[in-house]
Structure 1
Amino acid sequence: MDIYKDFTFKDNDIPKYIQVANYIKSLIDKRKIKEGDKLPTIRELSKKLGVNNVTIVSAYNKLKSEGYAYQKVGSGSYAKRKEVASNFRKEYSNALKKISMGDLTDVIDFTGETTGEVLFPIDDLKGIINEVLERDGANALLSDNRNGYTNLIYTINKVFWNNKLNDEDIIIISGAQQGIDIASKGILNINDNIIVEKPTYVGALSVFKWRKVNLFEVPIDEDGINLNKFEKILQKNEIKCFYTMSYFQNPTGVSYSIEKKKRILDLAEIYDFYIIEDDYLSELIYENSLEYVPFKWLDKNDRVIYIKSFSKIFLPGIRLGYLVAPEVFSETLQNSKHNTDITTSSLMQRALELYISSNKWKKNIKNLNDEYIKRYTHLKTILDSEFKDMLTYNDPKGGLNFYITLKDEFKINTKELFIKLRKKNVYITPGAMFFTSQNDGQDSFRIAFYQTDKEKIEKGMKILKEELILAKELRYDKLN
């Protein structure tokens, strides 16, 4: 039976490739096309539907970006049921919610998603808030500027940017996730094309998919995305923006070289796209070989939407950060922020301003670095000594996590590994969480040390090693 014979183009306002992609998605959802079924060749389907090859190529790319299809090199495109991906994400999310609501004493959280441990000096916070209330009284609860607390904007510009920015382009936000959402709502329309790193931050993927844009993924090398593949996409597609985490990319831990940043900025001008730079952990540089030079510092043509979060250096539960908008999008992004939540907590903005202007943040950053360097070094030593035959990883030289890839002999689907470890109160983040297609990242996972002290690192890594050895033995038994 020809399942494509009933297809017709119904709406002239919707591009043909989208109508084709939506029709195939409906066939997959209804199980008329089953998981793993090979889709028709581009030439075959274009002939069936009476369209050109480019339409089918675009339709298949959209299916892949939305998790409904995957490519086998030299073989073609195959169907993928999206619910397989969403079900595991739901299971992962529910598992973390459950442990977050309970006693975390015996939990080893290598996901970094819980907040069982807070290294911020709480007495400092109490003192800062009391000082703000004594100084400002009831005004501490009022907002004087829809972009944020005016003095905080001045202080950010002075302390972090040497007054090189226009204060009007700085918008106070409730954390990096809101910043991505504001940027997305402000500059992206349905079916716009954007490029993301492969793999990338799951929160950003959720935002972009919600906006119903077309995602193009570019693999990450040791110093940033693969520029050859990046430019090929730019040459063939009209790209609206590129989302990047310039330091300690989540999940890989990769930081961009200055040379690569400069080239990407040049390409942004040549191909007329914008860069959303998510700078969430650049304070946590542990080795002198890494120099702090964000895309925004090098941005001569106002192509970068810069997003900065203070959550990891202030308090995780207090979502604060800021966004720097290119002048062309300044008003649009201000409106996007205002339409999202009107304003961010005035009291906490004033507390953050005092925390920064009094230089207390410098002492806290030093203390955080001292503690996290110990954890980073300890975990790296264990990986190098106990796991060298089992896995590989990129040394991040900073940040809060390692991204692990299992060697062939010890390979286990890391979603299954997550479930096995969860039974022993150890939690990791499977690599599949960071890809648009759940066929990717099955042999990788992220280990964060944000919520694990030395004792928990040792205990958790011991349990992980036991599970990997057991997986190897089970695999050997099946082969024999």
Structure 2
Amino acid sequence: MTTGIRGALPELAGRARSVGASPVREILALTARPEVISFAGGLPAPELFDAEGLRRAYDRVLAERPGQVLQYSTSEGDPALRGAIAARAARRGLPTDPDEVLVTGGSQQGLSLIATALLEPGDTVLVENPTYLAALQCFGFAGARVVPVPTDADGVLPDALEELVRRERPKLLYLVPTFQNPTGRTLPADRRRAVAEVAGRHGLWIAEDDPYGELRFEGAHQPFIASHDAAADRTVLLGSFSKVMAPGLRLGWLRAPAGFRRACVVAKQAADLHTSTVDQAAVARYLADSDLDAHLDRVRAAYRARRDALLAGLPGALPAGSGWNRPEGGMFVWVRLPAGHDATALLPAAVARDVAYVPGAPFFAADPDPTALRMSFTTHTPAEIGEGLARLAGVLRP
């Protein structure tokens, strides 16, 4: 018989207490009302999903080999899917063998596997400033020390990177070189080469995250950092089907040198055994039966029109003295309000007018800019974007 006295439970791990929730995910919850025009989420346009093509792919694999696609699978991933991923990477200038590919539960899992396989508490990771928010969460859970690399409108500054590498002796440099989240900027080819050479000279790993690379509307494609000889044996390339097919599939991949890839396979076995067998099989079938490039042409055309609508409307929606960039693809425009404005403090007033954005401050590893905000242009039509900007003007230009 119990006495009613209950012992206190042990505390959660320090990492669970110290790493905060994603402000982006919390804003999405606040703005889920259908009347809200949200520039906040990095969400692909749902009306552009090839739902019919994906349905046919699922129907076919379930009809032809249900016993196989509903069964456990290998940790490395579906061989047909790995072959298709390798072929697409090769067409983009990076010769890849299917055995170099590990299928993951979205590229986010790939990032977690890198952290698990590589990082000890206290290890140093270099990042762009600002950078992808979930990467900061991931490195925080790993107990890493995150150090920002100075950047300009084109991305990391190679000379500053070299100085930091000499001083900090990092294990890992994390980059989103193409249409970066949150800024939308793209690292030029000469800087990619310089980054590869720094890694080659000083001995560090590069995580090259490429979820947006196939969403280019204009301009020349830039080479993968992994394609440079200096970085070929020390770059882990992350990719995703979230932005080119559908994020609900939760399918991504990583390409890594053999020893690192094997460590990631073991880490994946401990995390989830393997990625969904049926989803992998259906996506492999889709890539064999459908024309993903034709689908992407439609997506890119729609996103370009939406980007242009956002850029055209910003002068009338933002206070005088604001600035923003013009990305050649991807999903985001990076905005800076004039000095004295605080994007976080202004957000509740925007939500009250049924419009939303993401304040930029949480994306910074250090020295956050309170005037910065990220605006996604992919989720709404040009007409809806115009209405959303009119609502925003009521907040920012009352």
In structure 2, distance between residues paired with 1:357 and 1:297: 26
In structure 2, distance between residues paired with 1:256 and 1:320: 25
In structure 2, distance between residues paired with 1:397 and 1:343: 35
In structure 2, distance between residues paired with 1:224 and 1:90: 23
Q: Which amino acid in 2 is paired with 1:392? A: G
Higher mean Cα deviation, 220-229 or 189-198?
220-229
SS at match of 1:412: coil
Q: Which amino acid in 2 is paired with 1:155? A: A
Deviation at 1:90, TM superposition (A): 6.5
Aligned counterpart, 1:459: 387
SS at match of 2:121: coil
Q: Which runs of 4+ in 1 moved over 4 A?
A: 89-92, 113-116, 384-388
Change (3 A) 1:167 1:250: same
Change (3 A) 1:239 1:343: same
Q: Please, which of 380, 405, 418 is the counterpart of residue 336 of structure 2?
A: 405
Aligned counterpart, 1:382: 313
Deviations 1:209-243, CA, capped at 9 Å, x for gaps: 11111111013223220222211111112110100
Change (3 A) 1:92 1:398: closer
Aligned counterpart, 2:397: 469
Q: Please, which of 234, 237, 242 is the counterpart of residue 311 of structure 1?
A: 242
In structure 1, distance between residues paired with 2:212 and 2:371: 26
- Are the counterparts in 2 of residues 325 and 333 from structure 1 also a CA contact under 8 Å? no
In structure 1, distance between residues paired with 2:42 and 2:154: 26
Aligned counterpart, 2:48: 119
Deviation at 1:384, TM superposition (A): 4.7
In structure 1, distance between residues paired with 2:243 and 2:234: 26
Aligned counterpart, 2:374: 446
In structure 2, distance between residues paired with 1:180 and 1:324: 12
- Are the counterparts in 1 of residues 36 and 355 from structure 2 also a CA contact under 8 Å? yes
Deviation at 1:320, TM superposition (A): 0.5
Change (3 A) 1:229 1:377: same
In structure 2, distance between residues paired with 1:177 and 1:346: 18
Q: Please, which of 304, 310, 317 is the counterpart of residue 373 of structure 1?
A: 304
- Are the counterparts in 2 of residues 120 and 314 from structure 1 also a CA contact under 8 Å? yes
Higher relative contact order (CA 8 A, sep 6+): 2
Q: 1:354-369 alignment to 2 at 5 Å?
A: 354-369=285-300
Deviation at 1:388, TM superposition (A): 8.0
In structure 1, distance between residues paired with 2:177 and 2:296: 19
TM-score, structure 1 as length reference? 0.75
Aligned counterpart, 1:161: 90
- Are the counterparts in 2 of residues 403 and 446 from structure 1 also a CA contact under 8 Å? yes
Deviation at 1:166, TM superposition (A): 3.3
Q: Which amino acid in 1 is paired with 2:227? A: W
Deviation at 1:116, TM superposition (A): 7.9
In structure 1, distance between residues paired with 2:89 and 2:287: 10
Q: Which amino acid in 2 is paired with 1:350? A: A
- Are the counterparts in 2 of residues 199 and 219 from structure 1 also a CA contact under 8 Å? no
SS at match of 1:267: helix
Aligned counterpart, 1:291: 221
Q: Which amino acid in 2 is paired with 1:460? A: G
Structure 1 residue ranges without an equivalent (≥5): 1-65, 67-81, 471-480
Change (3 A) 1:202 1:90: closer
Aligned counterpart, 1:340: 271
RMSD between superposed Cα atoms in Å: 2.3
SS at match of 1:287: coil
Q: Please, which of 301, 314, 324 is the counterpart of residue 255 of structure 2?
A: 324
Q: Which amino acid in 1 is paired with 2:89? A: F
Deviations 1:32-72, CA, capped at 9 Å, x for gaps: xxxxxxxxxxxxxxxxxxxxxxxxxxxxxxxxxx9xxxxxx
Q: Which amino acid in 1 is paired with 2:386? A: E
Is 1:434 the counterpart of 2:363? The answer is yes
SS at match of 2:171: strand
Aligned counterpart, 1:475: none
- Are the counterparts in 2 of residues 171 and 322 from structure 1 also a CA contact under 8 Å? yes
Change (3 A) 1:90 1:143: closer
- Are the counterparts in 2 of residues 430 and 441 from structure 1 also a CA contact under 8 Å? no
Deviation at 1:167, TM superposition (A): 2.5
Aligned counterpart, 1:45: none
Change (3 A) 1:160 1:359: farther
Change (3 A) 1:118 1:188: farther
In structure 1, distance between residues paired with 2:365 and 2:88: 38
TM-score, structure 2 as length reference? 0.89
Q: 1:22-421 alignment to 2 at 5 Å?
A: 86=20, 93-100=25-32, 103-104=33-34, 106-113=35-42, 117-161=46-90, 164-288=95-219, 290-300=220-230, 301-384=232-315, 387=318, 389-408=320-339, 411-421=340-350
Deviation at 1:156, TM superposition (A): 1.6
SS at match of 1:378: helix
